[in-house]
Homo-oligomer: A and B are copies of this chain.
Amino acid sequence: MCELLAMSANVPTDICFSFAGLMQRGGNTGPHKDGWGVTFYEGKGCRTFKDPQPSYDSEIARLVTNYPIKSEAVVCHIRQANAGPVCLENTHPFTRELWGRNFTYAHNGQLANFKELLTTESLSAIGSTDSEQAFCWILEKLRLEFGNERPSNDLLFPFIASLAEQINKLGVFNLILSDGDFIFAYCSNNLHWITRRAPFGPAKLIDADVAIDFKKETTDKDIVTVIATQPLTLNEKWQKMQAGDWHVFIHGEKLI
């Protein structure tokens, strides 16, 4: 299994605090030592830092922890390999272009018979994971359903959810999908979220001896949602998603 982390914010916000906690689960407080990656959006553009090395001991993870990259949408993953060996092409998140946007995807869980998720068009997985195959399948289904133009949110998100439900029948499929504007989260069995807004308070990580006072780091207008497989902080109330639940977050707020 793996762990997921995502952020949606209404102002460019760094994810250093949450990232510092999650990274410890990559071989230190957790067993997810088979690589990690994080994608930061800036508008339509994005950049991904990834490493097939354990995150808790990664030079690149240290840079990401200490160097505040401000973003309105972030997708992060640490891996405990099941399908596919430990290597760079099997390291999440995966990003592909659709409708002139970067779509970024990360998956927690595992899928049996994932070769059933055939792609018939000109879209191939590069690595050998169940996860990337499912991502390619989603992209192809989106293109077949809606053609070359992005549909409205009313059509798009329920359709993505229906695809996630189909994939979920093959095993465990906790999903984060983003185009830099929205964060879509589908819960198979394990996903939590929290929205932070004024009045902000203090928070303390579960996985590292690090505390923060969000009051000092934010303005009263900031709204930031964090989504994670497991809560990252001790003293805050996280919302637990139920099996089959899905939500969409935009600019820090839950849209659906």
Contact = CB atoms under 8 A, between A and B. Distances in A.
B99 A124 contact: yes
Interface stretch (A39-47, A169-177, A202-210): A39-47
Given A60-B63, A67-B60, A88 B143 contact: no
Q: How many copies does the complex hold?
A: 2
Interface string A200-223: 000000000000000000000000
Nearest to A91: B45
B96 A97 contact: yes
Interface in A86-139: 87-91, 96-97, 99-102, 122-127
Nearest to A123: B97
Contacts of A127: 44-45
B43 A87 contact: yes
A87 B126 contact: no
Nearest to A99: B124
A201 B90 CA distance: 38
Interface footprint category on A: 20 to 34
B45 A90 contact: yes
A49 B46 contact: no
Nearest to A51: B47
A60 to B, nearest CB: 7
A63 B61 CA distance: 11
A245 interface: no
Question: Could you say which of A43, A87, A97, A123 has the most chain B C-beta atoms within 10 Å of its C-beta?
Answer: A97
Contact of A63 (B45, B59, B125): B59
A189 interface: no
A65 B127 CA distance: 28
Contact of A43 (B44, B51, B88, B122): B88
B48 A59 contact: no
Contacts of A123: 97
A50 interface: yes
20 contacts: A42-B87, A42-B88, A43-B87, A44-B127, A45-B52, A45-B87, A46-B89, A47-B51, A49-B49, A60-B63, A60-B67, A89-B102, A96-B97, A97-B123, A97-B126, A100-B125, A100-B126, A101-B126, A122-B143, A122-B148
